[in-house]
Structure 1
Amino acid sequence: MSRLDSMLRRLTAQRDGLNWAAEQIAELDGDVLDMGLGNGRTYDHLREILPDRRIWVMDRVLQCHPSCVPPEQDFLQGEAEPMLERLAQGGPRIALAHYDFGMGIKEEDVSEAARLSPLIARVMKPGGLLISGQPLVGFEQIPGPDTIAPDRYLFYRA
Structure 2
Amino acid sequence: MSRLDSMLRRFTAQRDGLNWAAKLVESHAGDGLDMGLGNGRTYDHMRETMPDRRIWVMDRVLQCHPSCVPPELDFLQGEAEEGLARLVEMDAKIVLAHYDFGYGVKEEDVAEAARLSPLIAKIMVRGGMIVSGQPLAGFDQVEGPDHIAPDRYYFYRT
TM-score (normalised: structure 1): 0.98
Which consecutive unaligned segments of at least 5 residues does structure 2 have? none
Identity score, percent: 75
Query: Partner amino acid for 2:25?
Result: I
Deviations 1:28-54 (A, max 9, x none): 000000000000000000111100000
Q: Give 4+ residue runs of structure 1 displaced > 6 Å after superposition.
A: none
Equivalent-residue separation in structure 2 for 1:47 and 1:128 (angstroms): 17
Moved more, 87-96 or 109-118: 87-96
1:92 CA displacement:
4.8
Q: Deviations over 1:81-109 (max 9, x none)?
A: 01100001132500000000001100000
User: What is the DSSP-based 3-state SS (H/G/I as helix, E as strand, rest coil) of the residue aligned with 1:29?
Assistant: coil
Distance across 2 between alignment mates of 1:113 and 1:56:
18
* Aligned residue type for 1:79: E
Question: So what's the TM-score if we normalise by structure 2?
Answer: 0.98
Q: Does 1:104 align with 2:104?
A: yes
Q: Which residue of 2 aligns with 1:147?
A: 147
Partner of 2:4: 4
Distance 2:121 2:42 in 1: 21
Aligned length: 158
Q: CA RMSD in A?
A: 0.7
The structure-2 alpha-carbon separation of the partners of 1:97 and 1:35, relative to structure 1 and needing over 3 Å to count, comes to same
Taking the aligned partners of 2:83 and 2:44, their CA distance within structure 1 comes to 21
